[in-house]
Chains A and B, each alone.
Chain A
């Protein structure tokens, strides 16, 4: 594996799942992403990211309720794991470190 580096899209997804708390499954993630980040993504892209993140151990999933609307199919709810939060934090800190080294930005933030 390429280590724990997060792609930009993956980071977004991870953040979305985190913000949705217990209501995160593919469709809701997609909608949230559209609402908050104004990012349009195809459902298949969301699927592939979610499952990859799970493979990396940043997410765990469990089956939730089925509704009529879903044709009787179960939902798979995702939650961010501790490692997931750690990676998010790490990514944030990494970026902040970089921001600090940019003089103009440093001045503005101060």
Chain B
């Protein structure tokens, strides 16, 4: 290697004896100091020889290596730049915009792809999915598996190094009267902290989660409750269905944003086992095969193949569970899913952070857009610099007659390209730094500026820079350097036919891309407003929802307290109705059961989603009854009855709502109930999800959520009053509320961000495309100066001239439109298929996009054409 380096450094003439010298010294050193040192010395000598790079080379005749010429090129570059201020500004600014947009997107994209890669084991970490088939029908496809499967895999599969389960909970955490509702509580195995990289700041990794009633918290939680992080040994009280005092045994750093699994509290698994202990001493949180709430992660050995693992495990599992499968006619499966795929490519039931789940397609889409914008910007540069070439023709002529080689001219223009690209790049980086917070806000992303410190980023930038400068500089460089000196010095411009054709093609491409983006934006926007306007089947206006209290003294009294609380609220004139339920619309339902008609066989079971409601639920949300009646307080037998939605009715194979009334059904295999009402389907979740079969058992005191329908505009007052009442009835509970419409529409946050990003980049693209068009128009106008002069002398008026000039690019824009239509159609049709209720793409979209582009283009070039059309013909004809 050292020798190669030397060959690079020295001219052939010198190489031989220098190599010999080094070799001789090497041999001497081998004798005196040993081989290793001699080698190192040899390498050092070779390396230090870099200083002799230009030794003797100067003597040779070379075209391109003289630094004075390079200086001259840079000087001329800046001279031309300052000579044509507008042009240069347009050119650099257009390029900078393109690069900035590209940087933004690539930042975002690389962030999305970085999820869970911070675990040092990430290549061997898998999440265990839980799938249940009934016959061929996939009934459950869930991110959380059953508690038994983790230990079972470790016992039976030698590839499994370790496993960890995480059981998510929410609850109230209290310490000395400071209390908060906390959502990110996970009950985790001791191995959790070992297989994942969540470093402990305080505490012992080996023992942190091994004892019951212990908890590991994050740094910011420690600060929140204690104001310091060194809190090992302190205690916190947990109130939820488990009520315990927990001892803190560890503090970890906060969970990185790009982790699919987030926690603030990790409670030891033994704590849960103690709660679910059976009479015989086993715990169902260790043995259950049907309780699927446990995110289970396994760490496989290096090189283990997940596919082969899945197949092998299927057999192992059948040996253990086959009997049950046959008996109950179902089959469960636990395929592995790489944890690095979870964020972008997983959309299962019970994802850890469903609101945060990314969409691999969208991210890929954005990456393509980024590349598009960059290409448009480069094309623009090519366009503008070729357009400018006419002005440079004389310079080229003079240089050539002074004896410049073609290669020197190419070098000159490439140098210019490098300088310009460098300016644009610097501007782009400044733009990015300044606008990052704004961008974050706009698309609700969390991009830090930390990426500026990453070497990979700069490497990529360097790559883009060199490639871009080269590509965008090459074409103009060759065009310009091929001018014939005699002709250009005579003032006769040779116009290359193919050159113009190419430039037109480039403009068409730019505009096609712009039209695509604009039409895409319109479609995304239309779909969004369609989804928002869509009749969701219930009324979410003016509805405030409070989370039910979790800290209360005795269970039996709770029902009374809740009743009294609701009555108190109802007496408030600002409040129209109050209802409590286990879920509110917009919330993912985790409460599922199998259901069938009583007379049906077990095979007919299907999965339904349960929402526990009280008598006021349907009236408060204004959900329509298709048949039957609501629960009524005067009927004491209503707990043996049930209300279903239309989807459930169809699953039960009942034709009309009226027929359903009075039918007997079995829920969860044991619970016999009579259908007393059928409600219309409403959108429990957004349009992205299909309508699930819902069942609404009467559970008067479930109170996970208390919804309050307000009949006042003074939300603030209603809020204050409700809070006072709440505090009076449930002291010590945090008053945690949200407005339902906001909550519901949060489901569209992804689409909203997508549409904003889309709009922004469409905007970028059109600006850059207009810059290109501007360049082209100026170019053609300049060429046709004489023609225009003659036309004017012969009596053409300004509007006619403008028409003639505009006609050319209008044709280009029209072609661009035609090209982009099918592209838009196929791309967006695919995107719209993600939604269960979608718009159809109408002709109007294309018309609007086309008209917009034409108008914007007209504005961009109008000024220029007008000024050309207005010029005095005398000037134009004296032009030569």
Contacts and interface: CB of A to CB of B under 8 A. Distances in A.
Question: Do A and B assemble together?
Answer: yes
Interface of A: 25-27, 30, 42-45, 47-48, 51-52, 55, 63, 66-67, 69-71, 73-76
B21 A25 contact: yes
A45 to B, nearest CB: 8
Contact of B20 (A30, A42, A48, A73): A73
B57 to A, nearest CB: 11
Contacts, number: 67
A26 B21 contact: yes
Contacts of B44: 42
B640 interface: no
B20 A70 contact: yes
Interface stretch (B46-54, B330-338, B743-751, B867-875): B46-54
Given A26-B18, A71-B19, A48 B55 contact: yes
Nearest to A52: B55
- Which of A42, A44, A71, A73 has the most chain B CB atoms inside 10 A of its CB? A44
Given A44-B48, A69-B27, 7 more contacts: A43-B21, A45-B48, A51-B14, A52-B55, A73-B21, A75-B17, A76-B17
A44 B49 contact: yes
Interface in B18-35: 18-25, 27
Nearest to A25: B21
Contacts of A75: 17, 20-21
B17 A73 contact: yes
A41 to B, nearest CB: 10
B807 interface: no
Q: What DSSP secondary structure best describes chain A's contact surface?
A: helix
Interface of B: 14, 16-25, 27, 44-45, 48-49, 51-52, 55-56
A7 to B, nearest CB: 15
Contacts of A44: 45, 48-49, 51-52
A74 B17 contact: yes
A58 B51 CA distance: 22
A27 B22 CA distance: 8
A42 to B, nearest CB: 5
Contacts of A69: 23-24, 27
A47 B18 contact: yes
B45 A66 contact: no
A94 B794 CA distance: 85
Given A42-B48, A44-B45, A44-B48, A71 B23 contact: yes
A63 B16 CA distance: 10
Contact of A71 (B18, B20, B52, B56): B20
A73 to B, nearest CB: 3
A48 B549 CA distance: 84
Contacts of A51: 14, 52, 55-56
A74 B20 contact: yes
A47 B52 contact: yes
B27 A47 contact: no
A71 B47 CA distance: 20
Contacts of A73: 16-17, 19-21, 23
Nearest to A29: B21
A43 B19 contact: no
Contacts of A30: 25
Contacts of B25: 27, 30, 43
B45 A70 contact: no
A43 B23 contact: no
Contacts of A48: 51-52, 55
A67 B48 contact: no
In the A-B complex, list the 9 residue pairs whose CB atoms are closest, starting with the nearest.
Answer: A73-B20, A76-B17, A70-B20, A44-B49, A71-B23, A26-B21, A44-B48, A48-B52, A69-B27
